[in-house]
Amino acid sequence: MKAKFPLRDFAIIAVSKTKEYPIVREAYLQGIRIFGENYIPEATEKFQRLFSEFPNAKDEVQLHHIGPTQTGTLRKLFPLFTATHGVASFSTLKELLKRAEKEQTSISYFLQCNISGEETKHGFSFEEILMAKEQSVPFENPCCKFLGFMGMGPSSGDETETRAAFLRLAQFRDQSFPDKKLSMGMSGDFEWAVELGSNYLRIGSLIFGERTYG
């Protein structure tokens, strides 16, 4: 594998959404410590059970919210979730900052960028983020840390298009926010994401098998 950029350290987020508790439990016993969940009530039930059965897990496990970060439900992220990857509006960011201060609980987040240009995907344009930076919009506070940017490749899964999308985000980060992290790459495109400098990979089916739905 020839990297486009110097290889960076990366972490794998084991996407356990829709998986039953025994599967999450076994993953923990096998050494997985970073999990990704979308549905907050489901995640709360599973991980409170895990922390009850294994008290040390509360300090060991990082739980990342990988669905859209919604203003109406973000209060439910506290205190369970370590990070959220789907902040896609400044109104949501403002509420997240306020809620973190109110809860006095640390949380980190990624700004979601629409790197594929698809109307079906949420996220900021690079121009919107740069304008906010120029206007000194607050991106973090003592309880809420701005980790970096999250982007998803195009729905087509085409290698050329996906690489181009990941490259755009990597170049934007390197040029404008060089100290920030990248969350990009899933089961079908993680190798390209690693080559292009991703720091967090969101891997579900390659670890747990295909998703199941209730």
pLDDT digits (tens, 9 = 90+) for 156-179: 999 999 999 999 999 999 999 999
Q: Is residue 114 part of a domain?
A: yes
d(CA 58, CA 51): 5
Whether residue 210 has pLDDT greater than 80: no
Residue 2 pLDDT? 46
Rounded to an integer, the average pLDDT of 27-43 is 97
d(CA 146, CA 141): 9
Q: Is residue 140 part of a domain?
A: yes
**Residues 123, 151 contacting (CB under 8 angstroms):** yes
Give the structural domain span for 183.
Answer: 11-208
Q: Which residues contact 137 (CB under 8 A, 6 or more apart)?
A: 90
Each residue's pLDDT tens digit, 49-70: 999 999 999 999 999 999 999 9
Each residue's pLDDT tens digit, 111-147: 999 999 998 889 999 999 999 999 999 999 999 999 9
Helix (H, G, I), strand (E, B) or coil at 144: strand
Q: From residue 104, how far is each of 12, 143, 160 by CA, in Å? A: 27, 6, 44
Whether residue 3 has pLDDT greater than 80: no
Query: What is the total count of domains within the chain?
Result: 1
The residue written with tokens 């607050």 in the block is 138
Helices (H) and strands (E) counted in the chain, each on its own, are: 8, 8
| Run of H or E including 148 | strand 144-151
Token pair belonging to 145 = 């840390």
Q: Distance from first CA to last CA of the chain, Å, rounded?
A: 38
d(CA 31, CA 144): 27
Q: Is residue 66 part of a domain?
A: yes
| Banded model confidence at residue 1, pLDDT cuts 50, 70, 90 | very low
Say if strands 107-113 and 144-151 run parallel, antiparallel, or are unpaired: parallel
CATH of the domain at 156: 3.20.20.10
Instruction: Give 3-state DSSP helix, strand, coil % of the chain, rounded to 5.
Output: 40, 20, 40
d(CA 38, CA 20): 14
Q: Is residue 213 part of a domain?
A: no
Phi-psi region of 40 (alpha: psi -120 to 50; beta: other; left: phi over 0): alpha
Higher pLDDT, 8 or 179: 179
Instruction: Tell if the pTM clears 0.75, that is, is over it.
Output: yes
